[in-house]
Structure 1
């Protein structure tokens, strides 16, 4: 019988990290519908021609061209704890931030740390362990943390500004998919559900290890995928769930994405946990934000809907590629040890909804 766990390697008198935050990981994101409403009232300045990718299509990072062969890729990502172990929290948050560089087809160069900590609640040792976890993720990516900024915060917050570089000809937006493309997902779903189980002390030690392995695995396949002519669009699946990030890809490309739910890879036991009602509040917020743009089959269960909208922290790359590039894409994923990568659907001409789920 699996023993459930409540992990915290910091000072025993300190509270659990997850107890200090109202949300965890990418589940902290403002729901896409609310964010869209907020941004409507924000005045937009003219973009210089060198800014190849800005905010127009909700892409993963900004891209600014500096010459014919080089463009800067810049992104930032930070959130509250998704786990109680401080080292794991830092490593997950840093891995998640760096992922946006890979999702543009770029190579990371360096990072800046963003640190907000309740210094009267957490010990210096615990805060140092969070930063050490972030540094370990950067070490694995081959980049330094070159600086950053710290504040005394009510809730613990950690993340990075990540800076990378890419050949402008190899930038992969989330808005360039083509009709007939095949969709391939690099990591299995269910991180949000596992984090919800952890908060309720219902996650087994094996489940925790699977969660950590998934969320701390850098999406290093991105640059190699970007070199394939048959790869047309690329993004990563994070806080808005598979449905939300597929929606952004489809909307930006003026197409409809068809997801074959039977082919979507899932982390161990998350289907069972979802059927028990162990889900995040962000899942429901996500669904309310984009339900009018997503068509579900009548027999789609509440648990399946929760998985479709489950916020993924440091989730997998979502690739839209031509049919003749599928084997090459899967080979690159395999080379980078993404053994769960698989075909999950296709892009078609625009239909009534941007995303259609098939059973």
Structure 2
């Protein structure tokens, strides 16, 4: 395979956040882990389904630590690096923090990928870190059968503004910062169906840093914050519901969608992660009869470098939307609300 014909996506069995282990399987795996010992300064650990771990350094600072990596979702090595880095830094923003440093995680098939291609992947990731104002200060690499790239990301926040995904309240409004459809577009690309405009839409959303996170976390009325990635909107919304012991009510027609993804979703094109995510949700997600199959698929679509999901008081909605729009997230939209009820998601047309 020459550099001219090399397709990164052909070197791996999955791509992007679609590589994630299904939520139900992950729960079974983690169930056998011994209970963590209590640490006074560990503000967020494995006891919740949050985006990152948080350690209180002092009364003014909390350290946010996370890691994220995956196999290629696109064939262009530079774009792959950019997407993976944006996705990894998102978990810091989703906790309400500001990134300060990153470490690279690199696994590459050295005998298959030319060194210059690997260098382009690393350069793409470094470019996003530079955009975020942080260094790639080190990392670790291995020779692996499939290409893998990502980051360990570290950030800081005030302890009082750390936002967990379990603190949504009855009556909170749900706002999604980025449109859905990344996994569907990735599948269309692998099938050779995605044109240049569709690819541009995909890259534009997956390389957009979720920088509004700290401003949202500091805003009065914002109670819970997470980002939508491999488990799809439904899976991550269920994490909010279970953490808070509340029901989410979502309108399918209100969801922001990547325009290029809609016709592919209507044609049934999408990653295998859609079926796994829907199966993992089980009876905890209830669809009205008017919600079409393609809409259900987009709600379960594995989002690589997806948007922030905010649960806020009704009086904070305009301020939340203003922060999103000022940050370049004009697609941000109100998609539903939290209400009293069992920990489940109800979707209306």
TM-score tier after normalising by the smaller chain length = over 0.9
Q: Which residue of 2 aligns with 1:103?
A: 94
TM-superposed deviation, 1:43? 1.3
CA distance in 1, matches of 2:20, 2:277: 10
Please state if 1:259 is matched with 2:250: yes
CA distance in 2, matches of 1:279, 1:302: 12
C-alpha contact 2:92 2:98 (8 A) present in aligned 1: yes
TM-superposed deviation, 1:134? 0.2
Q: Which residue of 1 aligns with 2:104?
A: 113
C-alpha contact 2:171 2:337 (8 A) present in aligned 1: yes
Please state if 1:129 is matched with 2:120: yes
Q: Which residue of 1 aligns with 2:302?
A: 311
230-239 or 49-58: bigger deviation: 49-58
Please state if 1:222 is matched with 2:191: no
TM-superposed deviation, 1:47? 2.7
Q: Deviations over 1:4-54 (max 9, x none)?
A: xxxx9x8215x3100011110000000000000111111122130211111
Please state if 1:11 is matched with 2:3: yes
> Number of matched residues?
349
316-325 or 287-296: bigger deviation: 287-296
Query: Is there any run of 5+ residues in structure 1 with no aligned partner, and where?
Result: 1-7
SS in 2 for 1:210: helix
Query: Is there any run of 5+ residues in structure 2 with no aligned partner, and where?
Result: none
CA distance in 2, matches of 1:306, 1:35: 21
Moved over 4 A (4+): none
Please state if 1:169 is matched with 2:160: yes
Please state if 1:357 is matched with 2:344: no
TM-score by length of 2: 0.98
TM-score by length of 1: 0.96
Q: Which residue of 1 aligns with 2:26?
A: 35
Please state if 1:142 is matched with 2:133: yes
Q: Deviations over 1:237-281 (max 9, x none)?
A: 000000000100111111111111111000013221012121110
CA distance in 1, matches of 2:93, 2:56: 17
SS in 1 for 2:192: coil
CA distance in 2, matches of 1:153, 1:318: 34
Please state if 1:187 is matched with 2:162: no
Pairwise CA RMSD: 1.1
Q: Deviations over 1:196-254 (max 9, x none)?
A: 00000000100000000000000000000011111000000000000000100111111
CA distance in 1, matches of 2:35, 2:204: 40
Q: Which residue of 2 aligns with 1:155?
A: 146
Please state if 1:59 is matched with 2:59: no
